[in-house]
Structure 1
């Protein structure tokens, strides 16, 4: 996890305020404690905080091409970067680092804004094209990495977290009541809306292009459910393909120059990932689980996590959450989230993340598996029948 932020006064000639850029970087210091970097050019300022994962020494940012006409700040990981490195070398590029960041720089030189189609991974980045006077913001297909922006008086302000934008004096926090309605109805706020008026989340699979005094947003990817009706496949065919894709995905996620581990709940999703990690690694997988004290002990799944940990001989650690933890950590967790999300596991995830951070720099998790494999069908159906009106009624006076 890294953090990016920036300001571009596309209708202004005044140089960017260095103190403002520093304040925006400080607001997201927790996202990248390892290093910091900045780039300024007239009304443009790019700020960066780094958590080093790949090419710890060479992957410093902002990163540029040879003549510094392309400047990049990047949060995320590109999992097919080695394949892309080989392609770039075949095209005649000389790579100065082994980082996935540099791959984006040279891909943009060759392919322009279409470079996002070549990237397989999670990302939120800002790229400055000096020759074209173009600022490009891009977010990965599923929106795994966050990226927010606002426009004030011809100035584009952006960052990995809303709190970075709020450092700008032109950005005054005010509630967007339509977004509040979305939250009370859906239990989350879908992009591009946020709870803050005039602050937007760049939607997943979209790029924002600021050039020639205009800002436009382009959808570069959408999920397709098209199938070939003439294709005859069995359940076993789909099962085999899913297993192969999972193994490929896990293997790609294990490319790292720093220690890593996995969250282990004992459920099918995280247990499958830990099982596959153990196949690829020559050392025990570092696993981390969260359990509950009374009065919630009956809801704990630690027993299942322990079974998986023993089966695969993992280096396992547990942490326990109590009612007092909910009370003591609520404000801290809310500060990190920037806006509400109705996920009962948020504080538990926060605690197990703090535990993991004492031993590794990144973890693999089973997040998203339930949604991808339609495990939420019963919950979705229940919500569709009964709705979430209770929350709206209780908050009616707001």
Structure 2
């Protein structure tokens, strides 16, 4: 992962806001320890912390087009960027790097905001179009990569994490009390609201444009719906599912650094680990977090892969997790997976990673869905039986 942040002014940035931008950037160092960069002009400041995965030598950000009129900060991966690059080069675009970041810049030049329809991947990016004095924020279809924003007068601030916005010193950390009940009940927020008043998350599959002092957000993608596939046999559907899963895993193996795998022992991560082990030439490094007596840890050991693969496990130390959370180091809002904080030191030698989270929802869902239904039913019962 990488970290992005920025301050955009409708008129002109103040001198102190350049320093504030650096504070915002460096509080995201844990997201990108390999490199740091900033771009500042009269109205815009963009900042980036990089974790190098693709094009290690020339992937520095912020990155611009040839004329230095379009600037980008980007967190994520565009899995089909080589295919898009070939089309853009045929259309006359000239590349200076081999990074997927530059492909986004040229795709924006070619197709404007509609460039997002061409991308397959996980992404959160900000594009500053200097001649048009216009900022574009975009988030991938399923919201894998986080992106938050807020308005402060005639300024718009954005960042990969809320704490970077707070680090600017331009925004007060005030509780968004109406959202608190929802978070306590479900652990999540259902819309763009966050636990901090005035700070919003850009929803999955959405774009946000800031120009002329106005914010305009719109949805560019939604989950497609269609007729049930009852006319197809189970074997046919299973074969199609496997084909799509293999393609998804293969696309995510694009990396210039060693790959690792977060292995829980469940059907989702185990299936992905098995496919990865067959597709890569080097040993697959897997990691797990669990309590000692968890059956999932025993399954993870069993699913560790062929003898050439290596499996590591990390215990969960609540003291470490609690301390990290108390210092504002949790990478999610509010507190989704504190156990992962303990895993990070063990996995530092593997910059690239995969896990089976999306597959778990696709291949049968999770207990949270039924649990949420019960919670909502109880809440409705309490309302109906109230005074």
TM-score normalized by the length of structure 2: 0.92
Deviations 1:320-378 (A, max 9, x none): 23xxx1133213035223665565xx233222232111x211211011222223322x5
Matched, 1:327 2:319: yes
Range with greater deviation from structure 2 (25-34 or 308-317): 308-317
Q: Distance in 2 between matches of 1:164 and 1:291?
A: 30
Q: Distance in 1 between matches of 2:271 and 2:49?
A: 33
TM-score normalized by the length of structure 1: 0.90
Matched, 1:337 2:326: no
- 1:237/1:160 CA distance change after superposition, 3 Å: same
Instruction: Give, in angstroms, the shift of residue 235 of structure 1.
Output: 1.5
Give the corresponding residue for 1:370. 360
RMSD: 2.1
Q: Distance in 1 between matches of 2:332 and 2:97?
A: 37
Deviations 1:275-332 (A, max 9, x none): 1111111121111122323xxx2x24222112222546412212223xxx11332130
Give the corresponding residue for 1:135. 135
Give the corresponding residue for 1:353. 344
Range with greater deviation from structure 2 (150-159 or 300-309): 300-309
Structure 1 segments unaligned to the other structure (5+ residues)? 394-398
- 1:389/1:183 CA distance change after superposition, 3 Å: farther
- 1:387/1:232 CA distance change after superposition, 3 Å: closer
Matched, 1:75 2:81: no
Contact 2:207 2:217 in 1 (8 A): yes
Residue correspondence of structure 1 range 54-133 to structure 2 within 5 A:
54-133=54-133
Contact 1:185 1:388 in 2 (8 A): no
Contact 1:263 1:289 in 2 (8 A): yes
Residue correspondence of structure 1 range 1-398 to structure 2 within 5 A:
1-12=1-12, 14=14, 17-227=17-227, 232-293=231-292, 297=293, 299-311=294-306, 313-321=308-316, 325-333=317-325, 335-337=328-330, 341=334, 343=336, 346-357=337-348, 359-376=349-366, 379-387=368-376
Contact 2:195 2:334 in 1 (8 A): no
Contact 1:70 1:129 in 2 (8 A): yes
Counting matched residue pairs gives 379
Q: Distance in 2 between matches of 1:213 and 1:291?
A: 48
Q: Distance in 1 between matches of 2:194 and 2:307?
A: 42
Contact 1:84 1:103 in 2 (8 A): yes
Range with greater deviation from structure 2 (86-95 or 58-67): 86-95
- 1:341/1:134 CA distance change after superposition, 3 Å: closer
Q: Distance in 1 between matches of 2:305 and 2:102?
A: 40
Structure 2 segments unaligned to the other structure (5+ residues)? 383-387
Contact 2:179 2:189 in 1 (8 A): yes
Q: State the secondary structure of the residue aligned to 2:72.
A: strand
Q: Distance in 2 between matches of 1:52 and 1:86?
A: 23
Q: Distance in 1 between matches of 2:19 and 2:196?
A: 24
